[in-house]
């Protein structure tokens, strides 16, 4: 059986996968192994797992996989060792997203494999030919948009599921066979290793500097994101939804417009203009389609010669202008899949905030506390600060410093917040960016800068200056690894601390 023969009824799944390498045993790597193990002796001749560094969890999983017939090796030379055992090379490699393309580990796998792709790509290939994919990427907002899109589509009666970084790995959902519409959150890491991946709707939210240590340059990061659009011309009726308020994405909108409909091969819907989300790109530059907020805050999408109203931004349960943008992206995507505008509006209204994303988490002595622990970069914190136009929050900033430019954060905090509490490993650099030296900070005038050693102390410092009606906002602009294992752990710790202090006040 030739490897080029494809299974009928799937996107691009070879009858014979041959020798397969799985690179890494993170969440997606384990899922790929679980999918492939039952195929040993049939579509798969040999399954090799280059497990990377040893952990208790990876060793336990690897032992079980080996007992079921997989070849497993740990360490830097794992790929070379496995290739020798498997016959010298692999027909297909499936890479976990946490492994940089420039690492020796990844390069060894690429050299040993006829093709090396991401788990997202592999899942798309294995999925049913008539399944539909909505793929969402961007520096910020991906998770909310995916959760909101899955909520709207499922509410409209479609068998939709949020997959990828937001939920189960894509290949788990494909293997389960219960999904007709995959709403996939895809990162730049995953997109960098795609080849044929072609969603029916591609949503590109924004591109700002992030993960530069992984991609090595902003240009490489940008180009990985833009790979989401690469194969749309081959998908009948494909639509790209593009945030034209973002400078980098707007440049891509201009490029697509210059290609013309025939040169481009798919439709695109620009959201807003350089002036903001209220701009209509049809009026601005003659675009065929557009998504925007009109003067009274109505979400409007013009697509395929029809104009749709998808409710009002003010009726959403999720706060902030960024969530109006997220809802507009979801409305455009759902309408592109044929969902009725009234259904879109109804299910946008019923969606509640996600955990760790400007999540209300209680009050302490009348001060409202919000958990935005997912804000691990400056741009995400800028968005959170702008989400409280009627309040000047006390914002908690700090954690594991990414070394990014803090000037925009300082400017926005002084404009929108009444105080900043700088904490954790980043506290001294953050405080210095505000012009504060020493450990105590300054408290006075229209804006206060305080310092604290850890998250708990930061919350207490904020509550000490908060009054009834104030907002205390954890939106750190940093990773969590100085004190916590993940942003989720940090956010849950913050919520527990808020609950403790609330109970103490009420006692």
Q: Please check if 377 is assigned to a binding site.
A: no
Q: Please check if 141 is assigned to a binding site.
A: yes
Percent above pLDDT 90 for the chain? 79
- Same domain, residue pair 89 and 188: no
The domain boundary, picked from 66, 94, 121, lies at 121
Where b means 16+ CB within 10 Å and e means fewer, 135-158 reads bbbbbbbbbbbbbbbbbbbbbbeb
Start-end of H helices in 232-368 = 247-264, 281-285, 321-336, 341-349
- Same domain, residue pair 77 and 188: no
The CATH number of the domain holding residue 170 is 3.40.1190.10
Per-residue model confidence as pLDDT tens digits over 16-43: 999 999 999 989 999 999 999 999 999 9
Which whole number is the average pLDDT over 37-59? 94
Residue 312 sits in which domain range? 127-350
The CATH number of the domain holding residue 368 is 3.90.190.20
- Same domain, residue pair 220 and 342: yes
- 2 assigned to some structural domain: no
CA distance to 87, 213, 374, 404, per residue, from 475 (Å): 51, 22, 8, 15
Q: Please check if 165 is assigned to a binding site.
A: no
Q: Please check if 27 is assigned to a binding site.
A: no
- Same domain, residue pair 154 and 303: yes
- 4 assigned to some structural domain: no
- Same domain, residue pair 85 and 148: no
The domain boundary, picked from 287, 316, 350, lies at 350
pTM check: above 0.75: yes
The CATH number of the domain holding residue 23 is 3.40.50.720
State how many domains the chain has. 3
CA distance to 9, 197, 239, 270, per residue, from 242 (Å): 30, 18, 10, 5
Q: Give residue 341's pLDDT band: very low, low, confident or very high (50, 70, 90).
A: very high
Q: Please check if 404 is assigned to a binding site.
A: no
- Same domain, residue pair 117 and 131: no
Where b means 16+ CB within 10 Å and e means fewer, 409-430 reads bbebbeebbbbbbbbbbbbbeb
pLDDT score for 102: 83
- 9 assigned to some structural domain: no
Average pLDDT across the chain, whole number: 92
- Same domain, residue pair 392 and 320: no
Per-residue model confidence as pLDDT tens digits over 434-474: 998 644 445 445 899 999 999 999 999 999 999 999 999 99
Nearest to 409 by CA among 437, 444, 442, 385: 385
Which whole number is the average pLDDT over 207-215? 66
Q: Give residue 135's pLDDT band: very low, low, confident or very high (50, 70, 90).
A: very high
The domain boundary, picked from 103, 121, 139, lies at 121
Per-residue model confidence as pLDDT tens digits over 281-298: 999 989 999 999 999 999
CA dist 112 and 281 (Å) reads: 47
- Same domain, residue pair 462 and 315: no
Q: Please check if 138 is assigned to a binding site.
A: yes
Of the candidate ranges 48-52, 217-221, 287-291, the one whose mean pLDDT is the lowest: 217-221
Q: Please check if 144 is assigned to a binding site.
A: yes
Q: Give residue 3's pLDDT band: very low, low, confident or very high (50, 70, 90).
A: low
């Amino acid at each position: 059986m030739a490897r080029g023969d494809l299974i009928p009824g799937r996107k691009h799944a070879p009858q014979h996968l041959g020798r397969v390498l799985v690179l890494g045993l993170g969440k997606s790597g384990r899922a790929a192994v679980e999918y492939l193990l039952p195929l040993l002796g049939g579509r798969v001749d040999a399954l090799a797992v280059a497990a990377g560094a040893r952990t208790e969890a990876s060793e336990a999983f690897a032992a079980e996989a080996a007992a079921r017939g997989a070849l497993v090796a740990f360490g830097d030379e794992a790929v070379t060792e496995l290739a020798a055992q498997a016959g010298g090379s692999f027909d297909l490699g499936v890479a976990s997203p946490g492994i940089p393309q420039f690492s020796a580990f990844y390069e060894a796998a690429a050299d040993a494999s006829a093709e090396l792709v991401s788990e997202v790509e592999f899942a798309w290939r294995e999925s049913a030919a008539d399944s539909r994919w909505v793929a969402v990427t961007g520096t910020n907002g991906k998770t909310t948009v995916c959760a909101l899109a899955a909520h709207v589509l499922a509410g409209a009666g479609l068998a939709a599921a949020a997959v990828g970084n937001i939920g189960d790995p894509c290949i788990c959902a494909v293997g389960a066979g219960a999904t007709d519409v995959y709403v996939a959150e895809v990162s730049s890491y995953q997109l960098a290793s795609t080849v044929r991946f072609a969603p029916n709707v591609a949503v590109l939210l924004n591109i700002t500097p992030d993960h530069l240590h992984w991609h090595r340059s902003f240009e490489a990061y940008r180009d990985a994101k833009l790979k989401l659009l690469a194969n749309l011309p081959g998908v009948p009726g494909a639509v790209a939804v593009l945030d034209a308020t973002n400078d980098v994405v707007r440049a891509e909108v201009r490029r697509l417009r210059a290609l013309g409909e025939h040169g481009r091969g798919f439709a695109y819907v620009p959201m807003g203009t350089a002036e903001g989300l209220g701009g209509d790109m049809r009026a601005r530059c003659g675009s065929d389609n557009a998504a925007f907020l009109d003067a009274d805050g109505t979400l409007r999408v013009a697509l395929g010669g029809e104009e749709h109203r998808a409710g009002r931004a003010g009726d959403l349960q999720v706060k902030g202008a960024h969530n109006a943008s997220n809802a507009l992206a979801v409305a455009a995507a759902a309408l592109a899949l044929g969902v009725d505008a009234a259904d879109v509006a109804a299910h946008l209204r019923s969606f509640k905030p996600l955990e760790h994303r400007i999540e209300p988490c209680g009050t302490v002595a009348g001060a409202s506390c919000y958990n935005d622990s997912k804000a691990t970069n400056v741009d995400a914190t800028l968005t959170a600060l702008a989400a409280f136009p009627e309040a000047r929050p006390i914002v908690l900033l700090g954690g594991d410093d990414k070394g990014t430019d803090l000037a925009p954060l300082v400017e926005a905090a002084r404009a929108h917040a009444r105080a900043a509490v700088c904490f954790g490993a980043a506290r001294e650099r953050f405080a210095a960016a505000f012009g504060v030296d020493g450990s105590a900070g300054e408290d006075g005038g229209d804006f206060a800068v305080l310092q604290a050693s850890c998250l708990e102390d930061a919350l207490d410092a904020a509550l000490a200056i908060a009054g009834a009606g104030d907002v205390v906002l954890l939106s750190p602009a940093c990773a969590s690894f100085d004190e916590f294992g993940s942003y989720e752990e940090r956010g849950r710790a913050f919520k527990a601390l808020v609950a403790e202090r609330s109970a103490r006040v009420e006692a």
